[in-house]
Amino acid sequence: MKLMCNKKNGRSRKRQLDVTCPYCGRRAVLRPAEYVYGSHTIVPGSRLYVCSNYPDRCDAYVSVHEGSNTPKGTLADGNLRNKRIQAHRAFDRLWKSRLMTRSEAYDWLAFKLEIEPEEAHIGNFSDYYCEQTIAECEKFWNGCCKMTAA
């Protein structure tokens, strides 16, 4: 096993970041979205960090913020990707329906999950935190605010 310690100074614009797969420990490679989605690519030209064991021995990848090489979170396998999508949906509903502002919603979520507000990024959440997010959002939604929703 080799550790990655070849840090180069003077990083050039298009260099990818050192991103490691949390499942198998392999390095993730910045690739066009087509590499994973093929003809189902929604945003042509978008890119993903894909585990170098993909697709044979590992199913993990994560998309990058548009126009950057910054991953949107940690690499996720299929299961976790679905959980994060569900958690985002449950969470976005709260601020998109104007029950609170987006930043209030993140503060609220951090408080509920007992984490620091800086850590409240669903893209980085584990299974556990995704489930907690969904549960807390549903509770909030069902508790007081059903009538506000269209």
Among 19, 33, 58, 90, binds Zn ion (CB under 5 A): 58
- Residue 24 binds to Zn ion (criterion: CB under 5 A): yes
Interaction of residue 21 with Zn ion, rule CB under 5 A: yes
Tell me whether residue 26 or residue 93 sits nearer to Zn ion (CB atom): 26
Q: Which stretch binds Zn ion (CB under 5 A): 14-22, 29-37, 84-92, 103-111?
A: 14-22
Q: How far is the CB of 136 from Zn ion (least distance, A)?
A: 30
Sole binder of Zn ion in the list 60, 76, 90, 94 (CB under 5 A): 60
Beta strands in the chain (DSSP E): 28-32, 47-51, 61-63
Q: Of 60 and 76, which CB lies nearer to Zn ion in the complex structure?
A: 60
Q: How far is CA 147 from CA 92, 99, 135, 143, 144, in A?
A: 17, 11, 19, 10, 8
Cβ neighbours for 53, distance < 8 A, ≥ 6 positions apart? 21, 24, 26
Name the one range near Zn ion by CB under 5 A: 15-23, 62-70, 127-135, 138-146.
Answer: 15-23
Distances (CA, A) of 42 to 33, 45, 48, 63: 9, 9, 12, 12
